[in-house]
């Protein structure tokens, strides 16, 4: 199958190529599209953060590490695209713990704010331990468990 894909994408007529290194295959951007992709990524990385991105980043900073489900329960909307954009910017990272993906802020985010720890964020102790928010997240976890345990 991979050889067929290499032939199909190796014709020079597509924006994607198949790169092979040490028996590992990867789809890569065609060289003639490099400038277009660089401009797109530069805008993704350099442009100002949107309000939804700032809200998401704030929740992760105060409540992280946090799962996508918990984050979406707090925000009330799908956060997939926002999470992707924040990871591209290097402001958050994703880690797997106990078979669950969790999001947390990066050292670059802390450096950007000029702080060395999340505890240096305004009202961190109070906001990171908010009882109402903790109850909401617990209900979300229970709901998710019951949905996933149904036959």
Domains and CATH numbers, the chain: 2-46 (1.10.10.10), 51-149 (1.10.10.10)
Q: What is the DSSP letter of 150?
A: -
- Beta-carbon contacts of 115 under 8 Å, excluding residues fewer than 6 positions away, are 121
pTM, two decimals, is: 0.62
Q: What is the DSSP letter of 117?
A: S
CA distance 130 to 132: 6
**φ and ψ at residue 66, rounded to 5 degrees:** -140, 145
- In the predicted structure, residue 43 carries a pLDDT above the cut 70: no
Res 101: pLDDT: 92
Res 42: pLDDT: 66
Res 140: pLDDT: 67
Residue 147 — pLDDT band, cuts 50, 70, 90? low
User: pLDDT per residue over 78-108, tens digit each?
Assistant: 999 999 999 988 999 999 878 889 999 999 8
44 within 8 A of 89, measured Cβ to Cβ? yes
């Amino acid at each position: 199958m991979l050889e067929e894909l290499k032939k199909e994408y190796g014709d020079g007529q597509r924006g994607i190529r198949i790169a092979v290194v040490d028996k590992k295959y990867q789809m890569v951007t065609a060289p003639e599209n490099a400038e277009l992709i660089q401009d797109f990524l530069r805008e993704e990385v350099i442009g100002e953060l949107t309000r939804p991105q700032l809200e998401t980043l704030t929740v992760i900073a105060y409540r992280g590490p946090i799962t996508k489900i918990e984050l979406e329960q707090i925000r009330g909307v799908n956060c997939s695209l926002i999470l992707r954009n924040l990871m591209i910017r290097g402001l958050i990272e994703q880690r797997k713990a106990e078979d669950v993906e969790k999001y947390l802020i990066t050292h670059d985010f802390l450096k950007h704010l000029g702080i060395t720890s999340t505890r240096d964020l305004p009202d961190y102790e109070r906001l990171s331990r908010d009882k109402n928010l903790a109850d909401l997240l617990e209900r979300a976890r229970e709901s998710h468990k019951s949905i996933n345990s149904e036959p």
